[in-house]
Amino acid sequence: MKNFSQTNQERRFKAYVSILGTTQLHLRNPYIVAWWGAALPGFGHLLLSKYLRGFTLFLWEILINVMSNLNLAMVYSFTGHFELAKEALEPRWVLMYIPVYIFGIWDSYRTTVDLNKQYLLAERENAPIASFNLGAMEMNYLDKRRPIMAVLWSLVTPGLGQLYIHRVLTAIFVTTWFIVFVYYSKVLIATHLLFLGQVGEATQVLDPQWLLFLPSVFGFAIYDAYVNTVENNKLFENEQRNFLQANYQTYRIRLSDRKV
């Protein structure tokens, strides 16, 4: 149930408010989006709300990375064990990694440039959008929220910041994979041992192949939650301004110059 229905005369909309989240166009830096596509394939597309493409690239990254032992080889390289790094790599899988990795970076950059152009056209058209959507299972509406709270909740657990701003699909995806990475990396076991003062055992129990995914997940969750909170606030102000102008600024009011 929406509080607005389109007239089929609009060509572009700046946003779409659904029960699963608010998808909107806004200006983005293509280099930043491409950088997130390089940090972990799929993240650049998730920033653009291109979920199907983002999920596909992300799952490809996890499959090829794990099967080729790429993260493990990177850890060996960082610590100067180059022979161990070469032995850890599985050539049957690692050579498939490069083309899709480059495609993810290139496509996220290209898509960002295109969406920026679409945003400029949609901004000029300034078509009205629904600000409230009520369904049987969920509801969503435009509102102002605090970016710092989105960041803090993302620091606690990746995905909570997205739930705070009602990006349900991204929240479920990020939280699910965060649990997978935490479980297989054994980082909680290592943390427990660290609290007990068993530093050596804590280091040995960690699985670097899965541990190396966590920094990217935390960084993406924080950045995505912060940026979308800021942009959602701007969208709320824009929709509110258009509503007030359309309903309460119909007539011009002239003040008399005559002194009383």
Secondary structure (DSSP) of 3-48: S----S--S--SEEEETTEEEE-----HHHHHHHHHHSTTHHHHHT
Q: Please give the Cα distance from 47 to 54 (Å, whole number).
A: 9
For residue 258, name the pLDDT band (cuts at 50, 70, 90). low
SS3 119: helix
Q: Please give the Cα distance from 117 to 31 (Å, whole number).
A: 16
Q: Give the HSE-up count for residue 193: Cα atoms under 13 Å, Cβ half-sphere.
A: 14
* Separate counts of helices (H) and strands (E) for the chain: 13, 4
| Residue 139 phi, psi (nearest 5) | -140, 155
Report the percent of the chain where pLDDT is more than 90.
65
Given a cut of 60, is residue 67 above it in pLDDT?
yes
Is the distance from CB of 207 to CB of 186 less than 8 angstroms? yes
Q: Give the HSE-up count for residue 233: Cα atoms under 13 Å, Cβ half-sphere.
A: 11
Residues 124-131, mean pLDDT to the nearest whole number: 86
